[in-house]
Every structure is written in structure tokens, then in C-alpha cells.
A and B are shown apart, each in its own frame.
Chain A
Amino acid sequence: EVHLVETGGGLIQPGGALRLSCAVSGLSVSTTYMSWVRLAPGKGLEWVSVIHVDDKTYHADFVKGRFTISKDKSKNMVYLQMNNLRADDTAVYYCARELDGFFDHWGQGTLVSVSS
């Protein structure tokens, strides 16, 4: 059975940084695409970042240059380093497995609140 568990969210001031972690079990991050998707208050789901099997990464324009996705194959973990956070980054961040573009497994999410 596949489980994704996100941690690392919290309250942070604008301009601050956080690192989210996603612990993966039941599948290997070495052989699958992993993404971060967020849900902001009053808004819809937004794809944030993806890391491919070959370690290539892609980010949505609204986080480009501020967020970085990475993975640790030995720990079967995926991370999202978020720098220079803004109020509009406030959201629940979900880790999700991507299968040919479709997100078939999701974690429960971790809340990031950016506020002074």
C-alpha cells in the first residue's frame, strides 16, 4: 500500500524559508515522478513542482527561482525547499505521485502559513 506523509509546514514570516518533506512508502521515488501540489484558501488546486526519474525538475512560474524540489533516493523522501515566501504562498501543500500526468496517490498535506 502506498503512503505519502508530508511534514515541515508551519507559520513563517514573509521573506522566510521552509523545507517540506514527504516520506514515501509503498513505491520508490527512484522510479516514479513526484510532485507538489497546493491548495490555497479560497482557491483551487495548483501544481507547484515535479521531479522526474532522471532528477530533472520543473516548477510553476509563480515559484520559479524561489522553490526547489529534490529527492533522497536512499531515504525514499521528496523535499520542497521554499525560499522568499510570500503571503500568497499560504496553502496546504500536498505531495503526490504522478503517473503519466495523473496524480494517483496523495498525502494528507501540510499547512504553510505566511504572515507577519
Chain B
Amino acid sequence: ETVMTQSPATLSVSPGERATLSCRASQTVSSNLAWYQKKPGQAPRPLIYGASSRATGVPARFSGSGSGTEFTLTISSLQSEDSAVYYCQQYDNWPGYTFGQGTKLEI
């Protein structure tokens, strides 16, 4: 099983600044990496797929990068509404898609 490790566990950033979230895979996942935003009481929201492609309706403030085992989600011009838990997910190694444990972003 591919283990996904996210860091940091919690990140506190001021409005208007930039947040950088990291995700590491225990083995290569190529570019088969997605990011999701999860707010309490809401469904997970897809943000990024293919490591760097934005999902439908996601603003350009959200960007993804990386390949292989190291990935980054960058959120610029932070707004209070960006407070959430962010999860990465690999879909390269089957069977079993795996998620990271999440990074809680506090604005």
C-alpha cells in the first residue's frame, strides 16, 4: 500500500498571505495525485487532479505541483473561507487508493 504523508498537520496563516502544503508518497505515484478541501458538514471538494490540473470551478489561487513522491498545494491570497482540512490522494498504485491524514489550514 502506498502511504501518503502530509505536512504540516496544522498551518496557521494570515489573510492575504500564501500557504504551502506538502504531501509525500512512500513510493512513486507519477502525477496521479489529487487534492481535496474538506470543511465541517460539507462534502469533500475536488481541487486538483493530475498533480497540477485544477478541477472545474476552482480559482487560480489554488495550484498544485510535483511528481513522483513529492507534491505541493499552494494557496495564494488566502481568504477566511479557505480555512479547511486539505487531503492529498494517490491514484497510481492499485489496488486501493490512499489519502494522506490531512493538513488543517487556519486563516
Contacts and interface: CB of A to CB of B under 8 A. Distances in A.
B102 A44 contact: yes
B44 A94 contact: yes
Given A60-B96, A101-B91, A45 B46 contact: no
**Cβ-closest 8 pairs across A and B:** A101-B91, A106-B43, A102-B49, A45-B99, A44-B101, A47-B97, A44-B102, A102-B34
Dominant SS among interface residues on chain B: loop
B91 A102 contact: yes
Most buried by B among A39, A44, A46, A104: A44
Contacts of A107: 43
Interface footprint category on B: 20 to 34
Interface string B44-61: 111001100001100000
B82 interface: no
Interface of B: 32, 34, 36, 38, 42-46, 49-50, 55-56, 87, 89, 91-92, 95-102
Interface of A: 35, 37, 39, 43-47, 58, 60-61, 94, 96, 100-104, 106-109
A61 to B, nearest CB: 7
A47 B87 CA distance: 12
B39 to A, nearest CB: 12
B96 A106 contact: no
